[in-house]
Amino acid sequence: MTVELGHYALVLAFVVALVQAAGGLWGAHAKNPHAMALAGPAAVAQGTLTLFAFFMLMNAYLTSDFSVANVYNNSHSAKPLIYKIAGVWGNHEGSMLLWIMVLGFLGALVATLDRNLPPTLRARVLGVQALIAVGFLAFSLFTSNPFERMDPVPLDGRDLNPLLQDPGLAFHPPFLYLGFVGFSVAFSFGVAALLEGRVDPAWARWVRPWTLGAWTSLTLGIAMGSWWAYYELGWGGFWFWDPVENASLMPWLAGTALLHSAAVVEKRDTLKAWTILMAITAFTTSVLGTFVVRSGLLTSVHAFANDPERGTLLLILCLLMTGGALTLYAMRASALRPGGGFHTVSRETALVVNNLLLSVLLFAVMIGTFWPIFAEVFFGDRVSVGAPYYNRIAVPLTVLLALAMSFGMQLPWKRAQLRSAARRLRTAVAITVAAMALVLWLAGQGKALSVIGIGMGVWIVAGAVLDVALRIKVGSASVGEVARRAGGLPRSAWGGAIAHGGLGLIIIGIVGTTIWVTERVEVMKPGDRLTVAGYELSYDRLEQREIANYQAETATFTLSREGRKIDEMFPERRWYPVAEMATTEAAIRLTLLDDLYVVLGDPRDSAPEARVVRAYHHPLVGLLWGGSLTMVLGGLISLSDRRYRIGAPARKAKPIADAVAAE
Amino acid sequence: MSRLRALLAAVALLGAANAWAVNPEDRLPDPAQEARARAISKDLRCMVCAGQTIDDSTAPVAQALRKMVRDRIVAGDTDEEVLDAVAKRYGDYALLKPRFSAENLVLWIGPFLVLILGGWGAVQFIRAGRAAPVDAAPLSEAERAALRDIEGA
The CATH number for B2-94, chosen from 2.60.40.10, 3.20.20.60, 1.10.8.640, 3.40.50.1110, is: 1.10.8.640
Same domain (yes/no): A151, A278:
no
Question: Whole-angstrom distance between the N-terminal and C-terminal Cα of chain B?
Answer: 61
Question: Which chain A residues are Cβ-neighbours of B12 within 8 angstroms?
Answer: 161, 163, 304, 581
Residues A47 and A179 in one domain: no
Cβ-contact A552, A572 below 8 angstroms:
yes
Q: Based on the fold, state whether residues A157 and A229 are members of the same structural domain.
A: no
- What confidence score (pLDDT) does residue A209 get? 93
Task: Please state the pTM of the whole predicted model.
Answer: 0.90
Q: Are residues A173 and A260 in the same domain?
A: yes
Nearest to B22 by CA among A485, A242, A614: A614
Instruction: For residues A286 and A367, give the distance between their C-alpha atoms in angstroms, rounded to a whole number.
Output: 15
User: Phi and psi for A355 in degrees, rounded to 5?
Assistant: -70, -35
Size of interface A-B (CB pairs under 8 A): 225
Q: What is the mean pLDDT of chain A?
A: 88
Confidence of residue B6 (pLDDT cuts 50, 70, 90): very low
Range of the domain at A582: 519-619
Whether the per-residue pLDDT at B12 is higher than 80: the answer is: no
Count of domains observed in chain A: 3
Is residue A495 situated within a structural domain? no
- Among A316, A344, A360, give the residue marking a domain's end: A360
- At residue B5, does pLDDT exceed 60? no
| Phi/psi at A583 (5° precision) | -135, 160
Angstrom distance (rounded) from CA A365 to CA A103 = 26
Same-domain check for residues A94 and A178: no
Contact A364 B43 (CB under 8 A): no
What residues pair up with A149 in beta bridges, in sequence order? A68
Shared domain check, A52 and A68: yes
In chain A, which residues have their Cβ closer than 8 Å to the Cβ of B18? 573, 582, 584, 602
- Specify whether A54 is located in the same domain as A97: yes
Distance CA B83, CA B40 (A): 8
Sign of CA dihedral B6, B7, B12, B13: positive
Phi, psi for A43 (deg, rounded to 5): -65, -40
Does any domain span residue A455?
no
Q: How far is Cα A92 from Cα A142, in angstroms, rounded to an integer? A: 14
Residue A352 is assigned to a structural domain of this protein: yes
Interface test with B, best of A290, A347, A385, A445 (most B CBs within 10 A): A385
The reply to whether A84 falls in a domain is: yes
A525 and A559 housed in the same domain: yes
- Label each residue of A199-261 as H, E or C: CCHHHHHHHHHHHHHHHHHHHHHHHHHHHHHHHHCCCCCCCCCCHHHHHHHHHHHHHHHHHHH
DSSP string, A512-573: IIIIS-EEEEEEE-TT-EEEETTEEEEEEEEEEEEETTEEEEEEEEEEEETTEEEEEE--EE
Do A36 and A97 share a domain, yes or no?
yes
Q: Are residues A126 and A263 in the same domain?
A: no
Under the banding of pLDDT at 50, 70 and 90, the label for residue B51 is low
pLDDT tens, residue by residue, A371-423: 988 888 888 778 889 889 999 999 999 999 999 999 999 998 988 888 999 99
Residues of chain B contacting residue A521, judged by C-beta atoms under 8 Å apart: 20, 22-24, 27
CB contact residues (below 8 A), chain A span 251-290, against chain B = 270-271, 274, 289
Query: Is a pLDDT exceeding 70 seen at residue A300?
Result: no
Least confident of A196-200, A366-370, A446-450, A501-505: A446-450
The Cα–Cα gap between A140 and A151 comes to 21
Domain endpoint, select from A325, A360, A395: A360
A556-570 tens-digit pLDDT: 999 999 889 999 999
CA distance B116 to chain A (A): 10
**Does A652 map to a domain?**
no
Same domain for A170 and A156, yes or no, is no
Domain boundaries, chain B: 2-94, 105-152
Give the pLDDT band (50/70/90) at residue A86.
confident
Cβ of A384 under 8 Å from any chain B Cβ? Answer: yes
The residue among A103, A133, A161 that closes a domain is A161
What is the distance in angstroms between the Cα of B85 and the nearest Cα belonging to chain A?
Answer: 16
Confidence of residue A658 (pLDDT cuts 50, 70, 90): very low
**Which residues lie below 8 Å from residue A315, measured CB to CB, with a gap of 6+?**
A291, A295
Residue A209 shares a structural domain with residue A125:
no
Least CA distance to B48: which residue of chain A? A301
Tens digit of each residue's pLDDT (9 = 90 or more) over A160-206: 776 667 777 778 889 999 999 999 999 999 999 999 998 989 999 99
Position A307 confidence tier, pLDDT thresholds 50, 70, 90: low
